[in-house]
Amino acid sequence: MEFHTSGSTGMPKRIVHRKTVLESSAKRTLDYFSLKPGDSAALILPAEFIGGSMMLVRALIGGLTLHLLPPKLAVNEIPNVDFLPCTPAQFKAALQNDVLSDFNGAILLGGAPVGDIEPVVGINLYVGYGMTETASHVALRPLSEKVYSAVDGVEFTTREGALVIDAPHLGVKELQTNDLVRLIDAHSFEFIGRLDDVINSGGLKIHPAVLESHFHSNGCGVCISSIADEVYGEAVVIVVEGEVSESRVKKLLKDVPRNQQPKFILSADRLPFLESGKLDRNVVRRLIQESQHRLSPL
């Protein structure tokens, strides 16, 4: 079966998986969440991406009752099912629209950073780590924890700080990722950030995801990017969404080391996202280039 990566940091790539690989991935998810025939799940993700496709495979393999809903950001209703995969943006919209008030199953967040999402009483929230190349997640963690644990049959190593995945049941051997992690052991790690997002400013490597999580945890929608600079090589730019004021940004930056703080700020009506729910960093970089006259020094 053919899939394509989301293209959040570059051109989408074509990935082909054997059906046996999809089946192996599905069985491990079913086991992890103790899902059995007759249990229920809902599909609100686009089926053309790996996350949505794998929910269909899990339902077929596991004998689940699957509720099909339109794959849009603001879902009008969500049935009280045993298992619901969704993007962080969909989950936040569901909370705002009060369609999860009676939900007591497990929700798996994936496809994008969880940002400022916090645990919700009565809902079992999990975060998955995976990619199209691994046929969905190869590691999971409860939202309240930082450490990802491998699903059965997966082992991790690192190469120059980047995560390397071995998963024989998925046909994956020494898959080099672009994710910088703190490896705890062969079956667990803590995610730090994307290596291909790293900003080299004056010789200092800055990881956008680390800075972004600081703002997200304080309720601010931001994207950390950069612009070419004659002195530093790259100057860090913080792009803020909506009504986030410059004074609020400066207040939050007091907790950030001086040498990692953005040099410029740019306001945008909305941050650009891909269909998969990930920030479209390519569009953000283009926006900065085209809006240099609107950059304000910090």
Residue 216 makes CB contacts below 8 A (sequence gap 6+) with 113, 115, 116, 222
Distance CA(59)–CA(12), nearest Å, equals: 27
State residue 48's pLDDT score: 85
Residue 100, φ and ψ in degrees, nearest 5: -120, 15
State residue 278's pLDDT score: 76
Looking at 3.90.730.10, 1.10.645.10, 3.30.70.2860, 3.30.300.30, the CATH number of the domain 198-297 comes to 3.30.300.30
Write out pLDDT tens, residues 182-199. 999 999 999 988 887 888
User: Is residue 279 within 8 Å of residue 250, measured between CB atoms?
Assistant: no
Q: If you ran DSSP here, which 8-state letter would residue 252 be given? A: H
State residue 207's pLDDT score: 86
Between 193 and 181, whose confidence is greater? 181
Distance CA(89)–CA(95), nearest Å, equals: 10
97: nearest Cα among 41, 44, 33: 44
Residue 185, φ and ψ in degrees, nearest 5: -160, -170
Look up the CATH architecture of domain 2-152.
3-Layer(aba) Sandwich (3.40)
Q: Is 298 exposed, middle or buried (0-12, 13-18, 19+ CB in 10 A)?
A: middle
Question: Residues 92-105: what's their mean pLDDT?
Answer: 90
Return residue ranges of the chain for CATH 3.30.300.30.
198-297
Residue 212 makes CB contacts below 8 A (sequence gap 6+) with 113, 115, 222, 223, 224
pLDDT band at 267 (very low <50, low <70, confident <90, very high): very high
277: nearest Cα among 94, 93, 75, 110: 110
* Maximum C-alpha span of the chain: 62
State residue 7's pLDDT score: 54
Give me the residues paired with residue 204 across strands: 201
- Helix, strand or coil, per DSSP, at residue 168: helix
Q: Is the pLDDT of residue 158 over 80?
A: yes
Q: Is the pLDDT of residue 80 over 90?
A: yes
Q: Mean pLDDT of all residues in the chain?
A: 89
Distance CA(223)–CA(213), nearest Å, equals: 10
Write out pLDDT tens, residues 130-143. 988 999 999 999 99
Q: Is 135 exposed, middle or buried (0-12, 13-18, 19+ CB in 10 A)?
A: buried
Distance CA(226)–CA(211), nearest Å, equals: 13
Residue 93, φ and ψ in degrees, nearest 5: -65, -40
State residue 32's pLDDT score: 96
Between 160 and 81, whose confidence is greater? 81
Return residue ranges of the chain for CATH 3.40.50.12780.
2-152
Q: Is 162 exposed, middle or buried (0-12, 13-18, 19+ CB in 10 A)?
A: middle
